[in-house]
Amino acid sequence: MNKILLLGIVVVFAVISCEHNEEETHPNDNPEPGTGVTDPEIFLQTGQGYSYRFNDFDFYDSSTCIFYFRTIHEEFADFDLGFFVFLDSCDTIYVGSFWPMYMNSMPFGPFISAPLSMYGNYALRIENWWHEGQPDPRNSPEMIMVLKEHNLLHSGLAVHINAVKINGDSLDFTFSVINADSTDLLILDPDKTGPALFHYFTNGLYLYDEDHQAVFTGTIKHQAPDPWNSWQYLWLSELDSGDSVTYTIRYPIETPLESGTYQAVFEFPGLAYQVGKGQLYQGDARIWLGDVQCIKKITF
């Protein structure tokens, strides 16, 4: 599935400080942006006036930077513009923005795409428009420490490119998926979905030359689910905590590749909006949502 992220810059971020305030902020109190936070249990504050304490969260998946909430939050539909800030005992960890997908620009730094349709009304994914030389605050040591202190940290999946080999007029791409989480996870299995359906959820493999020009793009035609917003349990395989699995996808080569060194880029996909809050766990295993990108230099 092609994913279009529209580009821009946030001109001003509101800054939240720990000023004393007699009124305690709760979801639906709708304080004006910039209102001071005095409750040390507030972890997330938004410019729309919503505040969320640590115990409002179920867990955080560091592989996808997705926060999962304990309950459904219908107010997520109101999140369109403005800022958000993560706090530790009223001290700012980092600030980001809600950024509408209809904007023809991309924000600077962490952001949440709005409207919040990709992960329903129980999860927030924090994205980041990365700039070279600048650290990514989403999984900073400070954030990871706070998440561990409140037993919210889950590690999700790790994905590694093993090999990219030319095999006649085809390219064999081999990668491994590792469950780094403490929970057993259900993942999209390309052997079960078949390559066409699997590539509905990902753009597949890219190869870039030393000038950062794309010299190879996977051309497997995707097949949409029927209906388009559905999912099936038979597409998934259970990966126990600590275990790994290896897959190989064969891509046709339409233009011969010259000898040289390339950067291989692949995005391993999971499900997203298709999975409702009550479907997230199947028995003791959790359906892994989101996607994770892996990069490796390869030489032909």
- pLDDT exceeds 60 at position 26: no
Which whole number is the average pLDDT over 12-28? 35
131 compared with 251, residue with greater pLDDT: 251
For residues 48 and 243, give the distance between their C-alpha atoms in angstroms, rounded to a whole number. 42
Give me the chain's average pLDDT, please: 87
| pLDDT grade for 78, boundaries at 50, 70 and 90 | confident
Count of all residues that appear for the chain in the document: 300
Cβ atoms of residues 178 and 226 within 8 Å: no
- Residues 195-242 pLDDT 10s: 999 999 999 999 999 999 999 999 999 999 999 999 999 999 999 999
Residue burial 246-264, b: 16+ Cβ < 10 Å; e: rest = eeebebeeeeeeeeeebbb
Cβ neighbours, 10 Å, residue 180: 15
- Nearest CA among 271, 267, 282 for reference residue 123: 271
Which whole number is the average pLDDT over 14-30? 36
Longest Cα pair distance anywhere in the chain, in angstroms?
72
List where CATH 2.60.40 sits in the chain: 157-299
Q: What is the CATH number of domain 157-299?
A: 2.60.40
23 compared with 201, residue with greater pLDDT: 201
φ, ψ dihedrals at 137, nearest 5°: -75, -15
- Residues 156-174 pLDDT 10s: 999 999 999 999 999 999 9
- pLDDT exceeds 70 at position 5: no
For residues 223 and 195, give the distance between their C-alpha atoms in angstroms, rounded to a whole number. 9
The proportion of the chain whose per-residue pLDDT surpasses 70, expressed as a percent, equals 87
Which whole number is the average pLDDT over 21-36? 40
Q: Rounded to two decimals, what is the model's pTM?
A: 0.86
For residues 33 and 26, give the distance between their C-alpha atoms in angstroms, rounded to a whole number. 13
Spatial CB neighbours of 172, under 8 Å, sequence gap ≥ 6: 163, 164, 165, 166, 248, 249, 250
| pLDDT grade for 32, boundaries at 50, 70 and 90 | very low
- Residues 86-102 pLDDT 10s: 999 999 999 999 988 77
